[in-house]
Amino acid sequence: MKGVSAKITRTFVPGALIPCADNSGALEFKMIGKLGKGQRHGRMPAAGVGDVIVASVVKGSPTYLKKPVKVIIIRQKAPIRRANGMRLIFEDNAGIMVGDDLLPIGTEIKGPVPREVIERYSKLAGISAKIV
């Protein structure tokens, strides 16, 4: 997996409620854990923009309800510091549901998506409304 070209504060911990920003049928996720490295013994796994988490769908279509799914976080309220010194802040948190191959399940992403996520997952560029 390609690294992120920004300093991202990890703001999501297990139990965090994250709204869904695509048309996959889910409305809200509850974070269970994080995929991949980044955890330390005795510390809660934290995630930020561009990370893949395992979550449970708490609101939405009955086909996904109470089942673990993979989610890519695409927006967070905490500032993202880019390499040129600019800080990027969104007004909400959001994630999109993906399959086991990390391809999006929905066909459209509502709202902006940061460039750091598009660098890592290029398939999201085709379905996102706006890239900042």
User: Taking Cα atoms as reference points, which of 39, 31, 38 lies closest to residue 15?
Assistant: 31
In a domain, 1, yes or no: no
Q: CATH number for the domain including 64?
A: 2.40.150.20
pLDDT of residue 5: 77
d(Cα 123, Cα 96) in Å, to the nearest integer?
13
Give the model confidence (pLDDT) of 33-42 as tens digits: 999 876 788 8
Q: Is the pLDDT of residue 3 over 80?
A: no
Give the model confidence (pLDDT) of 92-128 as tens digits: 999 999 999 999 999 999 999 999 999 999 999 999 9
d(Cα 11, Cα 80) in Å, to the nearest integer?
11
Length of the chain: 132
Mean pLDDT of 13-34: 96
In a domain, 88, yes or no: yes
In a domain, 83, yes or no: yes
pLDDT of residue 104: 96
**Structural domain count of the chain:** 1
Give the model confidence (pLDDT) of 32-76 as tens digits: 999 987 678 888 899 999 999 999 999 999 999 999 999 999 999
In a domain, 98, yes or no: yes
In a domain, 94, yes or no: yes
Q: Which domain holds residue 116?
A: 6-131
pLDDT of residue 70: 97
Per DSSP, the three-state class of 116 is helix
Structure tokens at 78: 């905490």
Give the model confidence (pLDDT) of 79-95 as tens digits: 999 989 999 999 999 99
In a domain, 126, yes or no: yes
Structure tokens at 79: 């500032």
**How far is C-alpha 18 from the geometric centre of its chain's CA atoms?**
9
Q: In terms of DSSP bridges, do strands 17-19 and 6-8 run parallel, antiparallel, or are they unpaired?
A: unpaired
Q: Quick one: residue 50, left, alpha or beta (phi over 0 = left, psi -120 to 50 = alpha)?
A: left
pTM of the complete model = 0.92
In a domain, 89, yes or no: yes
In a domain, 113, yes or no: yes
DSSP-H helix ranges across the chain: 115-120
Structure tokens at 9: 């504060």
